[in-house]
Amino acid sequence: MIIQVQNLVKRYGDVVAVDHLSFEVERGEIFGLLGPNGAGKTTTIRVIMDILKPDAGSVTVLGQSPGQMKGHVGYLPEERGLYRNLKVLDTLVYLAELKGVSRPAAQERATALLERIQLRKWGTRKVRDLSQGMQQRLQFAASLIHDPEVIFLDEPFQGLDPVNAERIKDFITDLYREGKTIVLSTHQMNRVEALCNRILLINRGRAVLYGHLAEIKREYAPHAVRVRAPQLPPDVSGVVEVAQDNGAFNLTLAEGADPQDVLRALLDRGVEVLAFEVAPVPLEEIFVATVSGEEA
């Protein structure tokens, strides 16, 4: 395990921000840390980053206490900014040195990263001269400047235009392929679905969903199939309701009906099946249903 959090508690006065939270992050995965605003995500990340001290519970990063592993962890915070009057290259070098990288190595790494985020020629310019999108790419690069093993990305797509958001998504995918462990906190569920292996959904500081994304989606999937075909006969065996949706049919299955039996029944009745799938459930629906259920 790269990160182990056990019974973590963090309070602000009388408010319990994180309430006996436990989870683990495995090496080389993209782990989604999800939750509504004020759920305790950022507080949890800050404790793991050793910015805040826990009131109870334990946290280990790469088997050590968070304070000892700062040089191995990268962090793109939700509340982020840069030194506006500092030069682009100097900014990266300073932040790398703070992470314990030697000055020559920091300069080499900063130059390479600027090349990678297509800001090489801006290295000697001041940060304030960069566009918003460029600054966000630079912030992203700053979280990687010391070549960390684990990277925390808190709302990395926030405020990005589609082009820059896609660039960051590709960057995250590249890091995943390189074997980095990524903890991704975002409200953009489509990004989580596209990127994450496992997720933790927290609400009011407590874990409400935790596990492999595919398993969670399977668990929450409605008892339904989605069929693309020119037309469907009436009274298909095992189907209780048929609804048309965007050129396809959503078939609600009877209790105990097997989707494979329904497919066989359709083919037996001569239906030209162009596409057939167990109806997926968007993560967003699971998120809303779970959080609403918690708050009801």
Partner 1 sequence: MDWHKVWVVTRHEYATNVRRVGFIIMTAIVPVLGIVVLVFGAFFAGQAQQLGAFFEKQFEVGDAPIGVVDASGYFSSIREEYQADFVPYESETMAVAALKAEEISKVLVIGEDYLETGRVVVVSLGSGFSAAAVSDSETVRAFLVDHLLEDAVDPTLRKRAATPPDVEPRVISSGGETQGEGPWGFAFTFIIPYFLAIFLVTTIFVSSGYLLQSVAEEKESRVIEIVVSSVRPVELMAGKVIGLGALGLTQVLVWVVSTAGFGSGAVALLAVAGATSIPMRVLVLGIVYYLLGYTLYAILMAGMGALGTTMRESQQLAGVFSFFAAVPYMFSGFLFANPNMAFARVLSFFPLTAPTMMLMRVPLAEVPWVDVAGSIVVLLLSIPAALWAGAKLFRVGLLIYGKRPTLKEIWLILRGRD
* Residue ranges binding partner 1 (CB under 8 A): 13, 46, 49-53, 55, 67, 70, 73, 75, 77, 79-86, 94-95, 97-100, 139, 142-143
In the bound state with partner 1, the residue whose beta carbon lies nearer, of 84 and 218, is 84
CB of 50 to partner 1, least distance (A): 8
What is the CB-side half-sphere exposure of residue 36 using CA atoms within 13 A? 13
CB of 22 to partner 1, least distance (A): 21
Q: How far is the CB of 6 from partner 1 (least distance, A)?
A: 19
| 84/264 with CB nearer partner 1 | 84
CB of 116 vs partner 1, minimal distance in Å: 19
Contacts of 218 (CB under 8 A, 6+ apart): none
CA dist 171 to 28, 33, 144, 175, 265, Å?
15, 19, 11, 6, 45
Q: Which is nearer to partner 1, 171 or 287 (CB)?
A: 171
Cβ distance to partner 1 smaller for residue 14 or 295: 14
Nearer to partner 1, 141 or 175 (CB): 141
Minimum CB separation of residue 151 from partner 1 in Å reads: 11
Q: In what order do the strands lie in the sheet with 198-203?
A: 73-76, 150-154, 181-185, 30-34, 198-203, 206-212
CA atoms within 13 A on the CB side of 254: 9
**Site of tokens 């969903």:** 209
Q: Rounded to the nearest whole angstrom, what is the least distance from the CB of residue 193 to partner 1 in the complex?
A: 28
Q: Based on CB atoms, which residue is closest to partner 1, 53 or 269? A: 53
Residue closer to partner 1 by CB (options 3, 283) is 3
181: tokens are 């462990």
Query: What is the side-by-side order of every strand in the sheet holding 56-61?
Result: 15-25, 3-12, 56-61
Tokens of 88: 């682009």
Distance CA 173, CA 168 (A): 9
- The answer to whether 294 and 203 are in contact (CB under 8 A) is yes
DSSP3 helix / strand / coil % (the chain, rounded to 5): 40, 30, 35
Say how far apart CA 131 and CA 256 lie, in whole Å: 57
Residue 74 pairs in a beta bridge with: 151
CB of 156 to partner 1, least distance (A): 13
User: Least CB distance from residue 95 to partner 1, whole Å?
Assistant: 6
Question: 8 or 239, CB closer to partner 1?
Answer: 8
